[in-house]
A = this chain, B = another copy of it.
Amino acid sequence: MLQLGQIDRADDKPPYRQIAGMLREAINSGQLTAGERVPSEAALSEHFGVARMTVRQAVQELRSEGLVVSEHGRGVFVRPAPPIRRLASDRFARRHRAEGKAAFTVEAEKSGYTPQVDNIAVTRETPNSAVAERLRLSEGDEVVVRSRRYLADGRPVETAVSYIPAAFARDTKIEQVDTGPGGIYARLEEAGHTLARFTEEVGARMPTPEERRVLQLAAGVPVLTVVRTAFDTDDVAVEVCDTVKAAPAYLLEYGFSAR
């Protein structure tokens, strides 16, 4: 059974913080390991001699740090660290497309998980200003919007929305649900837009409730946002891809020169 100290009523830190601190320490020191159940709120409330609401406040603090997740009717558990997926910036290299593989498939093979894509939707829309600016579109130009969700071993890890100028998608499979081997980048290259370079803008924030639902994120888990723009050999922006990734599941790798 887990050993826990007692509250010091003389301490200026409020009881709920002291309790949170002791539980955090138990997790960090390995007394409570990943997946293990934290003592029930009733047990903690009795052990520390405080009201249940006070214990709940302590647990809430750990939840918001992402240290534990609670499951209704089962208990509170130490969050197991998900396998980290390293994304190297060569994942869009032409040699992969030449083999008919999309970027997500390439990563999956390298990291050894089962890739899956669902919730694919394709529409045609007038882009918002951020997308229009990146694609240097004129007022009224339309884009093909491809949204989808990626899963690794059945767990959602990322949502992505691609925006391709409608003019570039004409007479290609880009506007169909199945884009064929190598994905949209392969289709763009066949249409004469040989890809030359990409830029990525990386940020992080807390997810919206909608994103939490789609990515099945526990409370207190942030997301990484990556907006990628693809340019062809004429330095024309041919695609903007807006992705939202479950932060704990990713490590992004970039390289650049000192010149």
Q: Enumerate chain A interface residues (CB-CB to B < 8 A).
A: 53, 60, 64-66, 86, 89-90, 92-94, 195-206, 219-224, 230, 247-248, 250-259
**Quick one: closest B residue to A258, CB to CB?**
B195
CB pair A198–B255 under 8 Å, yes or no, is yes
Instruction: Return A251 CB to nearest CB of chain B, in Å.
Output: 5
Contacts A94-B259, A204-B247; A220 near B254 (Cβ below 8 A): no
Contact of A205 among B90, B200, B230, B247 (CB under 8 A): B247
User: Chain copies in the assembly?
Assistant: 2
Closest 9 CB pairs of A and B: A204-B204, A222-B222, A204-B247, A195-B258, A89-B256, A202-B252, A254-B254, A199-B255, A200-B254
Among A195, A202, A230, A255, max chain B CB count under 10 A is at A202
Contact of A254 among B60, B89, B94 (CB under 8 A): B89
CB pair A254–B206 under 8 Å, yes or no, is no
Task: Please name 27 pairs of A and B residues whose Cβ atoms are closer than 8 Å in the assembled complex, sorted by A.
Answer: A60-B60, A66-B205, A66-B206, A92-B256, A92-B258, A93-B259, A94-B259, A195-B258, A196-B258, A197-B255, A197-B258, A198-B255, A198-B257, A198-B258, A200-B253, A201-B252, A202-B252, A202-B253, A203-B247, A203-B250, A203-B252, A204-B222, A205-B247, A206-B220, A206-B221, A220-B220, A222-B247
CB pair B199–A254 under 8 Å, yes or no, is yes
Contact of A197 among B204, B252, B257 (CB under 8 A): B257
- C-alpha spacing A258/B188, complex, angstroms: 13
Note all chain B residues with C-beta closer than 8 A to A65: 206
CB pair A224–B199 under 8 Å, yes or no, is no
CB pair A251–B202 under 8 Å, yes or no, is yes
- C-alpha spacing A252/B201, complex, angstroms: 5
Note all chain B residues with C-beta closer than 8 A to A247: 203-205, 222
- C-alpha spacing A202/B92, complex, angstroms: 18
6 further A-B contacts with Cβ under 8 Å, apart from A197-B256, A254-B254, are A90-B256, A198-B258, A199-B255, A203-B250, A203-B252, A204-B222
